[in-house]
Chain A
Amino acid sequence: MTARVLVPKEVKRGAPFPVRIAIQHVMETGFRYDLFGKPIPKNVVNTLVCRYDGVEVFRAEMGSGIAANPYLQFYTVAGKSGELEFSWVDDAGVEGSERVMVTVVP
């Protein structure tokens, strides 16, 4: 699974900055049927965790009510430069992760 993460080039120390992530995923609801009338099993990204330097800063538990290719924007603060690490898992057990460096300026 691929994902795109976007953070500002530089962030101010202690000031909240926006973090955006878009994961490529069908987010299959489980309510649809294929051409043969067989139900397509539910498969959504159910958990997304974001850590900053190993500390959990954001967690999302999602269901079929989240649109395909889930997009999230949230805020976090940073005291010093570090690494923002995302990891997620879908109902089929497929895991994905993405890392991005955050540069903090005073």
Chain B
Amino acid sequence: MTRSRIAVARRRFLQSCGALVVWPTLARAQEADALPALVEKLTGAKAPRDGKVTLDIPRIADNGNAVPLKVKIESAMTAQDHVKTVHLIAEKNPRPLVAAFFLGPHSGKAEIDTRIRLNGTQRVVAVATMADGSQWRGIAEVDVAESACYDATNP
């Protein structure tokens, strides 16, 4: 009698442990759905294709106040085929649109370096719009140890 009750309690406990493990994974999956909508809202890019855009950013950033970032886009940068716009998006920043860069055939090379602020661990997305209207996307995940907007939610 007592034995079986213990067994049931143990089973329940183990099940709840399992649920705890599964829960963050599910939360992640739901987050993944929010990003394309955010990108579309900010850039008008309905379905940017993955590729051509490379984000060079540390995997772990100590300080979210200044995270070095390099965006590289594969493009010949000629009069016919060049990058027109690059949008930088940080999904969890209070203002997710970090910057928009406008390039042209005068750029010669589609590569931009800057330093951005990141409000916590999140994904950073760069969307490039080409002269022919095609849109390409690059994503990088960054773990931020110290968030930039420490007093944004707690004045």
Q: Which residues of A contact B (CB under 8 A)?
A: 15-17, 20, 29, 31-33, 37, 39, 52, 55-68, 70-77
Closest to B97 in A: A63
Q: How far is the CB of B130 from chain A (nearest CB, A)?
A: 17
Residues of B within 8 A of A (CB): 65-67, 77, 88, 90, 93-104, 106-118, 148-149, 151-152, 155
For the complex, would chain A's binding face be called helix, strand, loop or mixed by DSSP majority? strand
B106 and A76 within 8 A (CB): yes
Name the one of A33, A63, A75 contacting B99, with C-beta atoms under 8 angstroms: A63
B95-A65 in contact (CB<8A): yes
Question: Could you list some 7 contacts between A and B, CB below 8 A?
Answer: A56-B104, A57-B104, A63-B99, A72-B114, A74-B107, A75-B107, A76-B108
Instruction: Report the minimum CB–CB distance from A84 to chain B (whole Å).
Output: 11
CB pair A64–B117 under 8 Å, yes or no, is yes
Task: Say whether B100 contacts A61, CB under 8 Å.
Answer: yes
**Cβ 8 A contact of A60, one of B93, B102, B109, B149:** B102
Residue in A33, A56, A71, A74 whose Cβ sees the most chain B Cβ within 10 Å:
A74
CA distance in complex: A43, B149 (Å): 15
Inter-chain contacts of B101 with A (CB < 8 A): 58-61, 74
